[in-house]
Each structure stands twice: as C-alpha cells, then as structure tokens.
Amino acid sequence: MASKTDQLLIVVSILEGRHFPKSPQLSLVVQASFDGEQLATDPVQHRDQPQFNTELAWELDRRTLHQHRLQRTPIKLQCFAVDSVSKRKENVGYIVLDLRSVQEVKQEPRWYPLLSSKYTKQRPALLLSMGLENDTKPTEPSPDRFKARKAPPRQGSPAVTDLLPDNLEAVLISEKGYHQVGPADHCCDMFVLSVTVAFATKLEQLIPSTMKLSAEGSEFFFYYSLLGNDITSEPFHNLLSPDFEPERASVRIRSSKQILQTFLSQSPSLQIHLCCGNHSLGSTDVSLAALSAVSMDLENKAATVEGAFVLQPPKRNKQTLPALPADLQPTVGVAVTLRKEESLGTKEGYGAQAQFYPLPTPPSIPPVEQRPRSSSPVRKPPDSSPPGPPLPPPSSHTESEAESLLEELQHGTEQAGLAAADLEVPVQQPGLTEATVEGGVSSVSVSAPKVSIPSSAHHYCFSLDLRSLGGLRLTHSIAATLRYAYQFFGSPAPIMTNPPVELQRNMEVSLPQSYCAFDFAALPQQLQDTFSRVPLVVEIWHRDSTSKDQLIGRASIQLSHLLSAERSRLVASTGEQSWRQTHQDRISVVRTHRPSEKVAELSYVATLEDLGLVKAREVIVSDSSQNEPVVPAPLPSHPAAHRPAAPSLNPTPLGPTAPTAPRETLEYRTALELEMWKEEQEDLFDDQLRKKELSHMQALAEEWKKRDREREALVKKKEVEYNVLEEQLQKTLSALEKREKQLAEAELETQRLQRELRAEHDLTQKELRTEHDLTQRELQESSRRLQQECDHRVALERDKVRLMEEERARLLQQIVDGESRYKQLEKEFQLYREQQNIRPEFRLQSEINLLTLEKVELERKLESTTKSKLHYKQQWGRALKELARFKQREQENAMTRLKKQQAELEAMRLRYLATEQKEMVQQDRQELDDIRNELNRLKQQEEDRLGPTPSLSGPAPPHSMNESADEHLARLLEERDTLLRTGVYTHDDRIIAELNRQIQDAMRDRGNL
C-alpha cells in the first residue's frame, strides 16, 4: 500500500465556457470519466458564457498514475444539455484530455473546443486546467461502505422488469471486475461484451488535400468509450496502409437476458473516432440496439453485429471535403459480440471465440489452397506465415480463428504445393512433416531424376474474393452459383461458390464461400504476359432442383488492372519482405450469345502478393522414389569452389628420395591453397558488397515507392475533387445554357408582343383621331347652341336686376321709417324706467337680491368649515397615535435607562462592598501587625530575661515581603472590581470565583507571614 506522501489528486478545473447558444429551458452539465469513475458538475444556465467554477478530483497513488500514463488512459469530459422539464439529457460534445500532460506544476487554463459538437454555427469551448496535488487529508472510513442489504422479494411481487427505472445504468464493481446492470439479487448471469476494431481503408479521404498524409511525429489511432471505459487502439503513422493490429476490448456484465436486452436497446450508439492527437478526423456509429434485436440463445451462440462502417468527417470539415463515391468512402471494420461467459468458457477459455468454417474439397492433388472468406474482412497479421519452405501466404485470420488456423495449416501440409502452368519446377511437397522426411512413405512420383528451379522465379499468391452479385435484369429470380477456372494457377478443377443464393430484381446479395487463394511460382515477365492476354472468366449458373443447370452469363475479369494497382510492402516476423497489390471493381455480367445485353453486376476484390524469389534447389530422385521420401538438396550459397583435401605433409620415406615434381612440392600446395583462399575471400567480399548495395537499393526503392504511393493517393484525391468540381461546372454550364435558351425564347416572345402592341397602338391612334374629329364637330355645334342660350339668359338676368334694384330702393325707405319709430319707442321706455325706480317695490327687490347673495356666501363658508373640521379631526387622531407611539418609546427608553442605572448601582454596590472588604482586610492586617509586634516584644523580653543563647533564630522576614504580598493582593482586588464594574461578569462567573479564591489564598499567605 502506498505511503501517505505518495497519495495524489488529479484535479480538473472547469471554469467557464464560451460560444454556447442561449436557451432558457436547458441547463448545461459537464460529466468527467476516468478509470471507470464518473464525476459531474452542478447544472448551470445554458447561455453564451456559462460559469461552472467547479473542480473535479480523482485520488490515486504514484504507481497507479504511472500505469495509467503507460496505458495512455484518457480523461473524457462530456457536455450534456439537460431539459429542465423532462430531465432528458442530450450530448452537446466531448473533450479528451491526455493524462501524460498533467504535471505537479500549476498550469494556466486553456480553451478546449468541444469535439463532435451539435452546435455547428459556433465552436463551443471550455476553459480547463489540469494539475496534480498532494493528498494531505486524513483517511476516514467512507460512509458509503456501510449500506443495508436489500430485502428479498416477497411472494406475489411484480416482475423485475416492472420495477426497473426508466434509464438503466451499468455500475462498475471494481472489486469483482464487472459491471452490474439491474438489481443485483435478480441479475446473476455473467455476459461478455466485446468490441473488435479489425481494419480500416481509405482513411486518407478524411483529411484535406493540403495536409500531408504521413507527417513526422503524427500518430493516428481509433478511440471509443465502452461502458464508460475509454479505449484507444495501437497508434499508426500512415493513413494509406494502416498497420495496427486488430484489438479486442471486452467488458464483463452481470445481468439477466431480458434486462440486458432492455439496457442495450436504451443505450446510445457506440461512437468510434479516428483521432490525431486531440482532434477527431471522423467518426461512425455502431448501434448496440441491434444486439438486443437479435433473438438467439446466448447460451449456445453469441450475438454479433459486424461490418464495414463508413467514417463521417466532422460537421466543420464536411463543407471543405467533396462528396465521395461509394467505392472511395473511408471505412472501419468493427465487430461487436455479446455472449454468455459460462457457455464459451468451458469450450475454449475466456477471451476467445471459436468459429469453424467448412473447407472446400480440393481436386486430386492440385497445388491450390482454397480458404473460405472470414466473417469480417480483417487484415492479415504479418507473423502468421510459418517459416521453412514457401507455403501459402497467411490468410485473414482474427484472434477468434486460432484453432481454425492450426487445423488449416495441418491440412495444408498434406495437399498444398507450388506449381506453374508453363514453368518447370521441382515436384515436391513443401509441407512434409519431419517423420515423412526421415523414413515415411511418400505418394508423390517424380518423372525427372533431377529438376531445378530458376533463380529468377518468384513465389506468388493470388486471391480472389467475389463479394456480391446484384443488378439483375431478368424478370424472374435465379438461384445463382458462380464458377471459374484459370489454368495458369495450376488448378484444372473449377472453383465454385456453394450453396446457391437467391437473386431477385433490385436486390444485391453476398456470395458464400467465394474466397479462394492460389500459390504458384512463375517468372515476372511470364506473369505479366499471361495476365495481360488471358482474362479470368466467371460464369453465373442458375441451379434448379427440378431441371438442368442453366448458364445465365459470363463476366470477364481483366487481371491486367491488378498489375497497375498500388503496391504495398509487408514485412513478416522472420524479416522477409513481400509486396501486395489489390484491385476492387464492379463489372457487368453479359449474355453468352448476346455480349451487348447486360444481365447483372458482379463486385470482386483481387489481390496479388509477391513473396520474393524462390530459392534454387536440386531434387535427386533414386529408382525407389516411389517408396522413399524426396529430400531436397540446397545449392551452395556462393560460387566459390570447395578446397580439395590436402594429403599428408610428412610422408614416411621408404628409400632414396626421388626428384619430386614442382606441383607436388609443399610450397606449391601452400601457394595454391593461399590463392584459393584469396579467391574465396574476394568472392565473400563481393557478395557482402552486393548484399549491402541490394539493401541500400531496396531501402531507396521502398522510400521512393512510399512517396510515390503518397503522391498517387494525393493525385487520386485531387482527381476525385476535380471530378466533383467538373460535375459541378457541367451542371452550372447546363443550367446557364438552359437559362440562355429561356432568355432567348423570352426575348423572341417580347419582340412578338412589341409588334402586336405597336399594331394595336396604331389602330387605336386611328380610332382616336376619328373620334376626335367627330367630337370636334359636336363641340362646335354644342358651343353655338350654348352661345344662344347664354345670350337669352343674359337678357333675362338684366330684367331681373332692374326689378331687384327697384325692390331695394323700396326696402331702404322702409328701414329708414323703422329706425325713426325705434328711437321714439326707446325714449318712451327711458321715461317709464325712471318712473318705476321711484316706487318701494323696486327697492325691496334689490335688498332681497343682496340677502340671497349673502346666504349663498355663508353656505359656502359653512361647507368649507365642515371640511376643515373633518380634516382637523383626522389630524388629531394621527397626533394621538403619534403621541402614544412616542409615549411607548419613551417608556422603553426609561426602562432601558432604569436597567442601566440599576446596573450602575449594582456596580457601585459591589465596588462599595469591595472597598469595605478592603478596609476590613486592612484592619485585620493592622491587628495582625499589632499581634506580631506584641509577640516580638514578649519574645524580646523573654530573651532579655533568659540571656543570650547561641541557638538564636534567624531574623524576622523583611518588610519587603509584606509589601510584595500586599501589592499582589491589591492587584487581584483591583482586577476583580474592574471586571465586576463592566457589568458583564457576576459573582457566579468562573473567573470571578477564581479571583476570589486567589484573594483568599493571598490573604492566608499574608497572615502566615
């Protein structure tokens, strides 16, 4: 267990956000997951700049932190928008933080943009900071460890599925290593959910053309989250040929079948991202609900969802990337498997899934290996080819096909071999076992006593995968089976797909057992000539149980396209290099007697692997080769001749020495051996130089081919973009031409309308002119008639004027007469008024009018006085209330002053008591001094009477000690009086009691002195 100083805290501070759209009905929550543990912030308002101001921390020790850094465990932050009414959570985006960048030094906050954000108009981002802190808090037992167990269900209780919550969650049980889904007392079955990322193709289509496909230091990897566990694949550097190993990630789930199906149907899709650093280049969704839709017995067979899923670029890059055809879409091969742990654990152990496929029966002894196509097109592992003589190349096996691979290799040791159509090769069995080589019996017969393979021959492996058949043009459905043969591969027997598949119109089906691989040896020039001249013809037959098989059509596969395909280099675990070329196409199936009539469409994938040169061998066959094994004899590795064995250098002389020949002398033999050794060393040196030159040239060629592939990929990408732009330009041009035609037609129509309007205008002008002449004549006639009528009316009016003037003169005379009569009547009225004023009734009427006015004035004053009385009454009530309030306030103030005065009186009483006690103490001290003086005097008298003695006691205590005791006692009394004087403390308080005790002790000590 780690020490206290080794405990650390990984702290992630989530400060604020920006560029979020305003939504008052939603709230934002950030959920962080690390090592299966999830933490979340409090909900905040969904606005432009939300303020989180939250710190999330995980506790771990240094060793665990080191392991997480080695495993590149990420910290994933997911931002959710939560509906305040329905409590529904919607994923806004996520951020992946690298644990390796976390340091103990405090770092400045940084803005991290949300990946795969649903807000496309703006780029939301979060202000985050990460750091390591020492965990110094004491370890306390967690209260969560002590939980009451759930009671067992009673009889007659509702079903478990009825008691489940709306949203099931997988809870990690870290002590036992599984996730719990559903109630623990009802869900006891163990399941294993596995996700395998097997292969990827066309990944270069996800990045713009301006970016390099394989930049230095750039790492690409696949990332996905499985039940809260963040998983990344092995990083790779080249997008053209991703060289990552297929990896399987498995989690154990403890649940029941029904609840697990419900959980999978509610779970969101599994998002798999292709990442470069912290950026997502593309993603795809794999639905987990499909596992729940598959109705099968998990105890006997696993539920699987697999296939090649298209990677979609992020929304911000969709506008910059052009639309791609179906054959250039970037894909990733994913297999999701759900199985029961007990069912497969007894068969092959945990973590493996055995899938056995029937092998097709080959011909009598052809050097051909036929392998069924795997359920998922995964990459070929580089270390699957066994060492030794050239064998068929490693096939596409996943980790789940380990037992099938061993069975296939054992089966290949009895039947597989190398052959060519027009090339003499040694007839041998490369897969013979050691027992057969040592003393077994071989059934292979050899016609030639000694056959050798040319050193320039290459070992090739050709594989053909007939993917699908569709686009049927016939009116009736067929039971299709495909058949083909190619003599150049050394297999005279035809290859057929089985069983037949039913094909209908507007339908495309996959072909079962349509994968086959051929191993052969041939010269490169011979291979190119044959592939260029002879196409591979695939026949489509209709197999009917009631009638004879019927030939529907033929499809010709031009193998020359495979030679012009891009070459990729593969390196095996033994260090041997090979080259692979792959071509994928969709061809038409035509009638045999009418080549122009199209029947259907066939999709295929052809692969050619060049496994290098075939080593030259010699095969020596004896007469009993029918019953003895064939033993290959390898050629010498270099052309240097073997040295002959030298005779004895010291022969025993048997008589007189005879003159020896010069070639038989010891010096000549030594020189000959030296020259032969020099030649051998020169040959070795030349061989080493050739090998170094070959290795350097191969490295240069590989680098050149690598860059050439990058250039070709870039050119293809540019070509696709240019084709898209060309299509857009063609569409634009066709639209412009159509618009020009419409404009021309509109112009012609306008000219025609102008001519018609001009003709109508001329006709209208003529009609108007005619009408104008007629109107002019009518006007002249009518003006003449009007002139006559006017003259007649003027004469009549003149007569009327003359009559009116006469009437006016008469009326003026009447007015003058009326005015004279009015003046006379007015004079008479004045005289009458003067006579009336002199009478008493008139005076009384005047007084009545004055009194009436006075009455009105008094009534008005009475009304105003009444209103003033009411106002003063209201003011008087308010004044009484205010007076009562003032009186109450004054009473409260008087009570406060009274309490204060009582407190002061109490303080003065206590002070007086203290003073009185002090005086009593002083009196007691005076009495004690008198008693002491009296005792001293009596003692002195006794001493004087008895005389001096040698044992005199010491002098009395000095007076200074009395003074110090008095000062201490006075200080204590003063402190007690001061505290009591404040009014805060009483005699019952602890500090006052302590001071009283000290005062008594001081008085007792002073009395003792």
SS3 for 638-680 is: CCCCCCCCCCCCCCCCCCCCCCCCHHHCHHHHHHHHHHHHHHH
Strands (E), 786-911: none
Q: Where are the alpha helices (DSSP H) in 388-480?
A: 402-415, 434-438
Mean pLDDT of 675-698: 90
Cross-strand bridge partners of residue 509: 469
Indicate the helix (H) or strand (E) that contains 92.
strand 89-97
Query: How is the beta sheet containing 303-310 ordered, strand by strand?
Result: 170-173, 178-181, 247-255, 189-201, 331-340, 303-310
The per-residue pLDDT for 953 is 44
- Tell which residue, 126, 132, 131, has the closest CA to residue 15: 126
SS3 of residue 612 by DSSP: strand
Q: What angle do CA 248, 369, 381 make, to 5 degrees?
A: 25
The per-residue pLDDT for 589 is 92
Backbone angles phi, psi at 969, to 5 degrees: -65, -40
Q: b/e for 916-950, b at 16 or more Cβ within 10 A?
A: eeeeebeeebeeeeeeeeeeeeeeeeeeeeeeeee
| Of 229-233, 277-281, 585-589, the least confident | 277-281
The per-residue pLDDT for 812 is 92
Give tens-digit pLDDT for 831-842. Answer: 887 777 777 777
SS3 of residue 101 by DSSP: helix
Highest mean pLDDT: which range of 298-302, 950-954, 990-994? 990-994
SS3 of residue 342 by DSSP: helix
The per-residue pLDDT for 987 is 84
Banded model confidence at residue 424, pLDDT cuts 50, 70, 90: very low
- Tell which residue, 948, 980, 981, 968, has the closest CA to residue 1009: 968
Location of structure tokens 């051998």: 680
Query: Over pLDDT 90: what percentage of the chain?
Result: 20
Six-digit token pair at 311? Answer: 């990677």
Mean pLDDT of 992-1009: 84
Cβ–Cβ under 8 Å, residues 401 and 427: no
Backbone angles phi, psi at 462, to 5 degrees: -110, 130
Indicate the helix (H) or strand (E) that contains 58.
strand 51-61
Contacts of residue 1003, Cβ cutoff 8 Å, sequence gap at least 6: 921, 969
Neighbours of 381 (CB within 10 A): 18
The per-residue pLDDT for 937 is 85
Backbone angles phi, psi at 808, to 5 degrees: -65, -45
Indicate the helix (H) or strand (E) that contains 270.
strand 270-276
Highest mean pLDDT: which range of 530-534, 615-619, 626-630? 530-534
The per-residue pLDDT for 582 is 93
Give tens-digit pLDDT for 773-823. Answer: 899 889 999 888 999 999 999 999 999 999 999 999 999 999 999 898 898
pLDDT of 302 > 50? The answer is yes
How many residues are present in the chain?
1009
Mean pLDDT of 41-67: 91
Give tens-digit pLDDT for 65-87. Answer: 888 888 888 999 999 999 988 88
Cα(369)–Cα(409) distance, rounded to whole angstroms?
10
Amino acid in the structure at residue 969: L
The per-residue pLDDT for 159 is 45
Q: How many helices (H) and strands (E) does the chain have?
A: 13, 34
Cβ–Cβ under 8 Å, residues 227 and 279: no
726-735: long-range contacts (C-beta < 8 A, 24 or more apart)?
A: none
Cα(726)–Cα(70) distance, rounded to whole angstroms?
49
Q: b/e for 975-994, b at 16 or more Cβ within 10 A?
A: ebbebbbeeebeeeeeebee
Cβ–Cβ under 8 Å, residues 359 and 372: yes
| Of 312-316, 770-774, 887-891, the least confident | 312-316
Banded model confidence at residue 351, pLDDT cuts 50, 70, 90: very low
| DSSP strand pairing (247-255 vs 178-181) | parallel
The per-residue pLDDT for 959 is 54
| DSSP strand pairing (536-542 vs 478-484) | antiparallel
pLDDT of 913 > 70? The answer is yes
Give tens-digit pLDDT for 229-256. Answer: 888 888 887 777 787 778 888 888 888 8
| Of 26-30, 454-458, 619-623, 813-817, the least confident | 619-623
Q: C-alpha distances in angstroms, 540 versus 115, 472, 475, 877, 911?
A: 49, 12, 16, 116, 127
Backbone angles phi, psi at 554, to 5 degrees: -130, 150
Per DSSP, 85 falls in state T
| Of 105-119, 142-156, 347-361, 542-556, the least confident | 347-361
Six-digit token pair at 532? Answer: 């260029």
Cα(959)–Cα(1009) distance, rounded to whole angstroms?
10
pLDDT of 609 > 50? The answer is yes
Mean pLDDT of 675-679: 89
The per-residue pLDDT for 447 is 38
The per-residue pLDDT for 43 is 92
The per-residue pLDDT for 409 is 40
The per-residue pLDDT for 430 is 36
Between residues 144 and 740, the one the model is more confident about: 740
Banded model confidence at residue 288, pLDDT cuts 50, 70, 90: confident
Give tens-digit pLDDT for 923-936. Answer: 888 888 888 888 88
Six-digit token pair at 89? Answer: 């959570």
Cα(487)–Cα(250) distance, rounded to whole angstroms?
46
The per-residue pLDDT for 342 is 62
Cα(755)–Cα(747) distance, rounded to whole angstroms?
12
> What rounded mean pLDDT belongs to the chain?
76
Give tens-digit pLDDT for 85-110. Answer: 888 899 999 999 988 888 888 788 99
Give tens-digit pLDDT for 494-513. Answer: 888 988 998 888 888 888 88
The per-residue pLDDT for 350 is 34
Backbone angles phi, psi at 158, to 5 degrees: -65, 170
Banded model confidence at residue 431, pLDDT cuts 50, 70, 90: very low
Cα(734)–Cα(1006) distance, rounded to whole angstroms?
126
Highest mean pLDDT: which range of 216-225, 431-440, 702-711? 702-711
The per-residue pLDDT for 293 is 63
- Plot region of 892 (φ>0 → left; ψ -120 to 50 → alpha; else → beta): alpha
Query: Over pLDDT 70: what percentage of the chain?
Result: 75
Mean pLDDT of 457-483: 89
- Tell which residue, 200, 210, 201, has the closest CA to residue 714: 210
| Of 189-193, 652-656, 884-888, 939-943, the least confident | 652-656
